[in-house]
């Protein structure tokens, strides 16, 4: 089985890698704790964990899904 039979072009691979990078960034942001936070609630409910990380993760999964489903126009 070669690459042409899979119909997974270089453009698809680039988008797939971009999606993986978005996922990695999202999980890093999710696990990142603030040094300045004094209380448990401030560390758990920080804006980067509640807002930024889910946006990055969702966009990463969407980009990966689109990169897998898009076919070439040939």
User: Does some domain include residue 17?
Assistant: yes
Cα end-to-end distance, the chain, whole Å: 19
User: pLDDT grade, residue 2 (50/70/90)?
Assistant: low
Residue 1 in this model has a pLDDT that exceeds 60:
no
- For the stretch 20-35, pLDDT in tens is 999 999 999 988 876 6
* Confidence at residue 61, expressed as pLDDT on a 0 to 100 scale: 98
User: Does some domain include residue 7?
Assistant: yes
* Confidence at residue 34, expressed as pLDDT on a 0 to 100 scale: 66
Domain holding 18, by residue range, is 3-69
* Confidence at residue 39, expressed as pLDDT on a 0 to 100 scale: 76
Q: Tally the domains of the chain.
A: 1
User: Does some domain include residue 33?
Assistant: yes
User: Does some domain include residue 74?
Assistant: no
- For the stretch 41-60, pLDDT in tens is 777 777 888 899 999 999 99
């Amino acid at each position: 089985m070669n690459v042409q039979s899979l119909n997974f072009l270089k453009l698809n691979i680039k988008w797939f890698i971009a999606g993986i990078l978005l996922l990695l960034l999202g999980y890093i942001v999710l696990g990142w704790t603030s040094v300045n936070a004094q209380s448990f609630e401030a560390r758990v409910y920080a804006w980067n964990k509640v807002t930024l990380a889910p946006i990055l993760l969702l966009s990463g999964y969407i980009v990966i899904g689109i990169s897998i489903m898009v076919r070439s126009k040939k």
